[in-house]
């Protein structure tokens, strides 16, 4: 029977190819949406797992997390320097590190912070050493700068009207091992350097940028004589879970500050992603339904066109069961080929999109299958088996004489 099926498919190869491609496109659409949504969840969760608590000035919780964890450029208001000083001396805090941003080098964000934060969140150095002086820098794993390289930052991105800080040069002293987060694309420098470059903390800006628009990541600049300049955000490592919740409650109650758990903010974003996924899943299900109906219709027409062939087989003594098995196997094999091709296409599309997002945003998006995916594919194969039985049943019921007369 297998040889007969192969010979028949070669005879109608164009129609068989259309059936396979229709099934493949429908499967790839549904599976690709599921894989990509899961990859975004896993990737963003892994990118934020090193950051327990983020404290910033009053404003958008989502933007605070996107700017500090995912390094998305934004003009954040500054947290008063007294907040950072209080956190540094708080017995409930293991460490608190400021994060200052606003400068770039060839599209890579310069992040002002402390060596303590780098040591606590990165797996170590792959080359060179940690910055020790004010105008030294360590680069993330995806920054193509060797130790010893000198860079001149720009305030803002050049493509968006940014300008160079004349007379300001950082020397790269080391490269970090990969973390799988957006920080792999960052250039890390001492926070004091960021303050001084922007005329904060009593030090004039090297390019005269002491005006409010030069405050890093901020919409305004504090008094240059302040002992502790303000910062866009502070990353905090509490000593315990209980301390984390107490600190969050305390700094949320403060009218000047906002404290968030990045994982909590991401949960809200996941809810939005879930809603979008449901819409796309409904579209995919509708497409699959249309494909299934089209397949049944096309196959029924095909069976009508093969009446003579089926009649001849019946006249030669082929039993009804063999005719049923022949038609069912042929159609089911085409659908299985389409499902297999759709799985490969959906996985490949999700992988390609994840790589594009990772290259742009800097954090890895792991594309992987889950048991639910295999259950869905198994259900789809079961449905295909049932649908394939309809044209097979029509062929089964066809009398031999009727086919020969037609």
Let me know: does 256 contact 265? Beta carbons within 8 Å: no
Handedness of CA 106, 107, 108, 111 (dihedral sign): positive
Residue 186 pLDDT greater than 60, yes or no = yes
Ranges 150-159, 283-292, 353-362: which has the least confidence: 283-292
Confidence grade of residue 205 (pLDDT, cut at 50, 70, 90): very low
| DSSP string computed for 129-153 | ----STTEEEE-TT----TT-EE--
**What tokens were used for 159?**
């493509």
3-class secondary-structure state, position 98: strand
Distance (Å, whole) CA 111 – CA 176? 14
Interior CA angle at 15 toward 14 and 17, to 5°? 65
Choose from 45-54, 131-140, 222-231, 287-296 the range with maximum mean pLDDT: 131-140
Distance (Å, whole) CA 406 – CA 403? 5
The CA–CA distances, whole Å, from 314 to 4, 305, 330, 392 equal 15, 16, 18, 14
Q: What mean pLDDT is reported for the chain?
A: 79
pTM (2 d.p.)? 0.69
Residue 192 pLDDT greater than 80, yes or no = yes
Distance (Å, whole) CA 111 – CA 98? 10
Distance (Å, whole) CA 293 – CA 298? 9
3-class secondary-structure state, position 240: coil
Instruction: Identify the helix (H) or strand (E) that includes residue 163.
Output: strand 163-164
Closest CA to 167 of 115, 123, 208: 208
**For residues 165-191, b (16+ Cβ closer than 10 Å) or e, as one string?**
beebebebbbbbeebbbbbbbbbbbbb
Instruction: Identify the helix (H) or strand (E) that includes residue 99.
Output: strand 93-105
Q: In the chain, what are the domain boundaries?
A: 2-45+269-405, 53-260
The CA–CA distances, whole Å, from 187 to 146, 151, 175, 184, 193 equal 12, 10, 9, 8, 13
Predicted confidence (pLDDT) per residue in 67-120, tens digit:
888 888 888 889 988 999 999 999 999 999 999 988 889 889 999 999 999 998
DSSP state of 110: E
**pLDDT value, residue 5:** 62
**What tokens were used for 250?**
């305390």
Percent residues over pLDDT 70 in the chain: 74
Alpha helices in 105-226 (DSSP H): 115-121, 191-197
The angle, 0 to 180 degrees and rounded to 10, between the axes of the packed helices 2-11 and 320-361 is 60
Predicted confidence (pLDDT) per residue in 110-162, tens digit:
999 999 999 988 888 999 999 999 899 999 998 999 999 999 888 766 555 55
Ranges 28-42, 190-204, 256-270, 295-309: which has the least confidence: 295-309
Distance (Å, whole) CA 211 – CA 145? 31
Interior CA angle at 363 toward 100 and 46, to 5°? 95
Distance (Å, whole) CA 263 – CA 280? 25
Contacts of 364 (CB under 8 A, 6+ apart): 43, 46, 180, 358
Let me know: does 134 contact 196? Beta carbons within 8 Å: yes
The CA–CA distances, whole Å, from 92 to 57, 96, 175, 376 equal 20, 11, 32, 48
Q: Which residue has the tokens 């934020």?
A: 48
Percent residues over pLDDT 90 in the chain: 28
Residue 360 pLDDT greater than 70, yes or no = yes
Closest CA to 342 of 366, 370, 372, 376: 376
Residue 15 pLDDT greater than 80, yes or no = no
Mean pLDDT (whole number) for 199-211: 47
**pLDDT value, residue 112:** 92
Confidence grade of residue 299 (pLDDT, cut at 50, 70, 90): low
Instruction: Identify the helix (H) or strand (E) that includes residue 258.
Output: strand 257-260
């Amino acid at each position: 029977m297998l040889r007969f099926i192969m010979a028949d498919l070669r005879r109608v190869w164009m129609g068989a190819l259309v059936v396979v491609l229709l099934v493949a496109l429908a499967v790839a659409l549904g599976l690709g949406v599921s894989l990509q949504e899961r990859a975004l969840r896993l990737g963003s969760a892994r990118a934020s797992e090193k950051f327990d608590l983020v404290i910033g000035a009053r404003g958008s919780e989502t933007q605070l997390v996107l700017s500090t964890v995912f390094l998305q450029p934004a003009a954040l208001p500054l947290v008063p320097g007294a907040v950072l000083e209080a956190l540094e001396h708080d017995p409930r805090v293991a460490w608190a590190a400021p994060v200052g941003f606003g400068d770039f080098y060839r599209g890579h964000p310069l992040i002002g912070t402390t060596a303590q934060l780098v040591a606590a969140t990165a797996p170590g150095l792959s080359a060179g050493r940690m910055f020790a002086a004010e105008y030294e820098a360590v680069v993330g794993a995806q920054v193509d700068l060797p130790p010893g390289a000198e860079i001149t930052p720009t305030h803002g991105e050049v493509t968006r009207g940014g300008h160079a800080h004349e007379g300001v040069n950082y020397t790269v002293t080391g490269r970090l091992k990969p973390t799988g987060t957006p920080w792999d694309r960052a250039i890390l420098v001492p926070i004091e350097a960021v303050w001084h470059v922007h005329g904060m903390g009593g030090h004039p800006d090297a390019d005269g940028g002491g005006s409010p628009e030069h405050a890093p990541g901020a919409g305004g600049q504090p008094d240059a004589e302040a002992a502790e300049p303000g910062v866009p955000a502070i990353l905090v490592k509490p000593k315990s879970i209980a301390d984390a919740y107490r600190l969050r409650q305390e700094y949320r109650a403060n009218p000047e500050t906002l404290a968030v758990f990045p994982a909590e903010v991401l949960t809200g974003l996941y809810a939005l992603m879930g809603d979008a996924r449901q819409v796309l899943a409904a579209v995919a299900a509708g497409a699959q339904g249309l494909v299934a109906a089209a397949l049944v219709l096309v196959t029924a027409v095909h069976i009508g066109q093969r009446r003579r062939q089926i009649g001849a087989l019946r006249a030669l003594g082929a039993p009804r069961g063999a005719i049923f098995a022949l038609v069912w196997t042929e159609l089911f094999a085409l659908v299985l080929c389409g499902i297999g091709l759709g799985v490969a296409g959906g996985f490949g599309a999700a992988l390609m999109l994840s790589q594009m997002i990772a290259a742009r945003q800097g954090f890895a998006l792991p594309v992987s299958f889950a048991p639910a995916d295999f259950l869905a594919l198994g259900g789809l194969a079961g449905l295909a088996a049932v649908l394939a039985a309809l044209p097979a049943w029509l062929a089964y019921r066809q009398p031999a004489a009727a086919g020969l007369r037609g």
